[in-house]
Structure 1
Amino acid sequence: MTPNATSASSGSSRRSFLASTAVATAAVAGGMPLLAACGGSEGGSREGTTSGKNAKKILPAYVASNVVQPDIPSKNGSAMGFTSKLDVAGLKTSVPKKLGKGGKVTVMSPFWGSPPKQGNPYYTSMNDLIGVDVEWRNQDGNTYDQKLGAVLASSDVPDMVVVPGWNMMGKIPSAIISKFADLGPYLSGDKIKEYPNLAAIPSDAWQRSIFGGKLRGLPMPAGYVGNIVPLYRQDIFEKEGYEIPRSADDFMALCKDITNARAKRWACGDMKWTAFSNFGVLGGGEKPLWWNLVDGKLINRIETPQYLEAIEWTRKLFAAKVVHPNFELGKGQIGDPAPMFAAGEFLIWNNDISNWYGQQASLATQNPDVKVWGMDIWGHDGGNPTLYATMPANIFAFINKKASESVIRDALAVANVTAAPYGTKEWMMTNYGVEGTHYTLKDGVPVKTDKGNNEVINAYVMVASPAATIAHPDLPDYTRAMVEWQQRMGAFTKKSSFWGLQITEPSRYTNLATDFEQLEDDIIRGHKKISDMQQAISDWKSKGGDKLRDWYKKLLDENGSAAG
């Protein structure tokens, strides 16, 4: 939709993403694929979407930022990459004058860990830079959906509220439409040029920010290349002479070669999400991505033969006993696989791309010979893969519709600073805090102090973000590898029919597909059979799936697709 609309996320899981803003990632996709409903609607109604001509009237103008040029430009939906060390003394300025007018803005946002006290040096420095007195009302990220529901149902809604896509279930989408302001009068068209860093956010992310026919969200952009990478211990592969697989059969043979239970070594973890990519299954992150128009008919991912094939193949991995036994446990019982991966107990790990850097940085401190690398996604039959795009924004900040114009403009001033691009003073302050207090420079690389790790997390980065960026100047080879992996995989990535749209399904269908993820996991672990899934799909059709298909088809006929 725009010259830079193909930015990709270097996102992480809900907890790990924002527990570590020391990782220089400027955008997040929201993590491992989640079966979450998404919100949005048409013309103020409680369901539907807005696209095409109606969206164009609402969307902000796109004005690319030229303040800092990336070392590796975005391509095929990749993030921008920065491999050079930051010249902290020569950082560019992206906000030449304070846009904040000194007012107070309260912000409620999810937080993982122990929130710092109000008035700490990071908060005061950021507020001084912006010209706004931001007061944080941080809530436990693990139970945020409960708190969010209670607050939105009350009359005491803060000036700004952050809502991740995975929390947009039940009544939350309707509450977004009824409780939050239309930002169109401030941001639509050329009005956004008053906020240059917001203007440089890709249009695809703004398209996702339309709820109830109005521009209500301030987005955290993410790219459309899938974020699940088969990470592997390249150091052990090289030592043992293992070759990277190019097909499903190759992978199974490799796994059997690696596995030696007596020596406490297994080949892999749970590879389900990679299998979905290997077999060309439609995206499973959000319900609209489950649908795609094929020969004039809408097909759901669960109805495709590829879906059952991917589940069956993953089941065979478990049955062959090549999966580390800890992964046979149910969700929440597996524990942290990282120590087992570090010990070489298993060598291939289905993981978020952000953890490619994270695992390498962590393990290299224990053993400098460790090398964590990422496999390209291969087609199950040995050919090229067919991949499907993820949503271009998954976390949003909203402004209370009761807020005065001065509060709204102060809130936008906050967002314009937090959306500053990598390599600027504003980005550095947002992500690292104050030099000498929150970080020091080590060989030209900023390293957070204990105070930085305690204070510069989970806060301002939640308000709005720049186009997706990967920047690890301490490990430039990994920055390049991650971006180039996205570029290669982006070449095989398609946008399905409802990609990029913010859609609210009718509430009667909210729980229609809730049990599928658990059933998948039960089948691949041998507790249920493929026939159980076939029955569940039949039940899904009769209990509303076919009617939901008609609803989506009507939506597509009336609004068209945003996937150009």
Structure 2
Amino acid sequence: MSTGVSRRRFLGLSTAVAAGAASSFLTGCGSSTAGKGEAASAKVKLPAYVPFTGVKPDLPPNAKGLSAGFLSYPKELAQSVAKVPGDGSKVSMLTEIWVQPPLPKGSNAHWKQVSSKLGVDLSAILGTDPGYEEKFPAIVAGGDLPDLMWIPPNQGLQHIAQLLESKMADITEYVSGDAVKDYPNLANMTPAHWKTAVVNGKIWGAPSPYPALGQVYGGNPKIWAKADGFSAQSTEEFMDKCKEVTGGNTWALEPIYGNAVSVLSQCYGAPNKWGRDKSGKVTFWMESEQYLEALNFVVKLKKAGVFYPGDPKMADAYLKLAQGRIGACVYANPTGARKDTRTNDPALAAEILIPFDADGAKANAHYHAFGTIGYTAIKKGSEKRVRMMLEILNYLAAPYGTKEREFLEFGAEGSDFTYDDKGFPQRTKKGKQEVEGLWSGLATATTAPFVLAPSVFPGSHGVQDVKDMYGVEQELLRTAVQNATVGHYSDAYTEHYGRLSTEANDLVNDIVAGRRKISEWKPFWSEWGPKGLDKMKQEFQKSLEAGDA
């Protein structure tokens, strides 16, 4: 198991850089169909949710985003696909990988086996991070599109709605409502997973599920032990603890100020990127009073000297946390925090800061993540061809504990992997060369919902890590709020948001660093209203109200 996305992409997806991007960039293309699709997108019937029952987890998931938990590897693997999905034809795929590329198709025995299992001659263009945002438009411009194309929500891709309408297959009738039951592994995905694949009132692809919980502070427990643990009930207590652990060669927090404001704004009850007030009016988190309060608090933390005195874009903060130089860093989700600390120090188990109530109003709320890293669309073709592609995607979405999933992720026993002393598959040298990179690309295209398993976490404490993170997820879900605009669209977003996010984050850094005054914050948003923010909110408002009707 791997969470598989880089820190750069993770934090971009989770913070202001990609606010609203899970959906809104999809129609940011000036397409005449975009506006017409607002009401339909709000009302489209999402696929039914039918959880896979072939393997029973030790800790059950739920539709709100709680991950299934396995304390051991299933002794008997289930079969989730009854027949070979393909018809022997050639199938091409564009996707992204997050590890070293695999051996090329011609010299990769596992790749040949994947083709055989799928019943097609599979070729794949494996983009890398960074680089996918350049590769995707280049392939589109070339005109000869792959059969399957992964579309991410956070890489600024343009003209997606036009591309979908003109070149890709509308799969709504094949997966909407109970129709998805023809593809049981795809039906194992929750409605929240499918929302990012809805554009102009149509469903365009199979989702790429990802952990549903969002950004958190993860702390080095050895550092926070002197402050009675990494937790707080108020801003005053958090400040006091940060001061207490700061000293010598240790500082409480990493110096990525934008992420600090993002996580701490949860404590003040700011919207999850895009929200709606009591009257139903669309609000943007960074111009909210709650965000400003969080920014004020981060300025106070900076003046108190609790941030590591380094580059606010520092790339080695996680390593410095493991070394005891930094007490806490922002991670994309709690599992990522625990996994990373175990990677850098197997004896280190990150503590997760649960959002505390900053002002006594019980407004604290955790921000749900998007729950996917995109979806894979299918090139237009005959119904038979499109359904075959859905069968292939259904195979790729095989759940944890199935024969298909083990094969895709680890290959063939003996040559590609062996079972360790706890019964979990571990890749051999050959498996790392042939399987790992291809699996990364296939899992990016689509995969089953994320599960917590001991093998996710390096070291010998995996069972406890599963129990701990399952408990943390339960805690976070008690107050978790969604981004109100997921599944809704704004043309203005694609046109303006890149510049807005850059300028806003630069201003956050300058204010916290003391180069600019906090009194400049509100005027910045007043200036940005007519430059595009008002239009974004108007377009989201229209789409949301269409769904209300």
> Which range, TM-score by smaller chain?
0.7 to 0.9
Change (3 A) 1:208 1:51: farther
Q: In the alignment, residue 483 of structure 1 is paired with which amino acid?
A: Y
Measured after TM superposition, the shift of residue 482 of structure 1 is 1.4
Q: In the alignment, residue 355 of structure 1 is paired with which amino acid?
A: G
Matching residue of 2:98 = 112
Instruction: Give the 5 Å matches for 1:120-519.
Output: 120-222=108-210, 224-225=212-213, 227-238=214-225, 241-242=228-229, 244-260=231-247, 263-269=248-254, 270=256, 271-284=260-273, 290-326=274-310, 329-331=311-313, 334-352=314-332, 353-365=334-346, 368=347, 370-381=348-359, 384=362, 385-401=364-380, 403-443=381-421, 444-454=423-433, 455-457=435-437, 458-473=440-455, 475-498=462-485, 500-506=486-492, 509-511=496-498, 513-514=500-501, 515-519=503-507
Matching residue of 1:96 = 82
Cα distance in 2 between the residues matched to 1:364 and 1:259: 21
Deviations 1:99-141 (A, max 9, x none): 2222211111122344221141332222222222211111222
Q: In the alignment, residue 394 of structure 1 is paired with which amino acid?
A: I
* Conserved 8 A contact 2:149-2:377: yes
Cα distance in 1 between the residues matched to 2:399 and 2:520: 49
Deviations 1:238-257 (A, max 9, x none): 36755632211111111111
Change (3 A) 1:75 1:54: closer
* Conserved 8 A contact 2:27-2:199: yes
Cα distance in 2 between the residues matched to 1:297 and 1:502: 14
* Conserved 8 A contact 1:64-1:200: yes
Q: Which moved more, 1:449-458 or 1:94-103?
A: 449-458
Measured after TM superposition, the shift of residue 165 of structure 1 is 0.5
Q: In the alignment, residue 262 of structure 2 is paired with which amino acid?
A: W
Measured after TM superposition, the shift of residue 298 of structure 1 is 2.8
The alignment-based identity, stated in percent, is 26
* Conserved 8 A contact 1:247-1:381: yes
Cα distance in 2 between the residues matched to 1:10 and 1:100: 27
Change (3 A) 1:282 1:265: same
Cα distance in 2 between the residues matched to 1:380 and 1:61: 39
Matching residue of 1:4 = none
Change (3 A) 1:480 1:299: same
Measured after TM superposition, the shift of residue 448 of structure 1 is 2.4
Cα distance in 2 between the residues matched to 1:201 and 1:15: 25
Q: TM-score, normalised by structure 1?
A: 0.84
Measured after TM superposition, the shift of residue 437 of structure 1 is 2.6
Q: In the alignment, residue 105 of structure 2 is paired with which amino acid?
A: Q
Deviations 1:205-242 (A, max 9, x none): 223211232211210134653x2121112234336755
Change (3 A) 1:553 1:386: same
Cα distance in 1 between the residues matched to 2:42 and 2:268: 35
Measured after TM superposition, the shift of residue 486 of structure 1 is 1.5
Q: TM-score, normalised by structure 2?
A: 0.87
Matching residue of 2:526 = 538
Aligned residues: 524
Cα distance in 2 between the residues matched to 1:530 and 1:536: 10
**SS of match in other structure, 2:154:** helix
Deviations 1:365-396 (A, max 9, x none): 4xx4x332212121213664233433343311
Question: Higher helix proportion, which one?
Answer: 2
Cα distance in 2 between the residues matched to 1:31 and 1:100: 37
Q: State which of 65, 71, 74 in structure 1 corresponds to 2:58.
A: 71
Change (3 A) 1:107 1:307: same
* Conserved 8 A contact 2:410-2:436: yes
Q: In the alignment, residue 336 of structure 1 is paired with which amino acid?
A: D
Measured after TM superposition, the shift of residue 12 of structure 1 is 6.1
Measured after TM superposition, the shift of residue 518 of structure 1 is 2.4
Cα distance in 1 between the residues matched to 2:384 and 2:302: 58
Change (3 A) 1:321 1:470: same
Q: Which moved more, 1:549-558 or 1:161-170?
A: 549-558
Change (3 A) 1:359 1:63: closer
Q: In the alignment, residue 375 of structure 2 is paired with which amino acid?
A: F
Measured after TM superposition, the shift of residue 538 of structure 1 is 0.8
Q: State which of 35, 51, 57 in structure 1 corresponds to 2:18.
A: 35
Instruction: Give the 5 Å matches for 1:548-563.
Output: 548-560=536-548
* Conserved 8 A contact 1:51-1:560: no
Measured after TM superposition, the shift of residue 185 of structure 1 is 4.0
Cα distance in 1 between the residues matched to 2:431 and 2:520: 51
Measured after TM superposition, the shift of residue 399 of structure 1 is 1.2
Matching residue of 2:38 = 49
**SS of match in other structure, 2:319:** helix
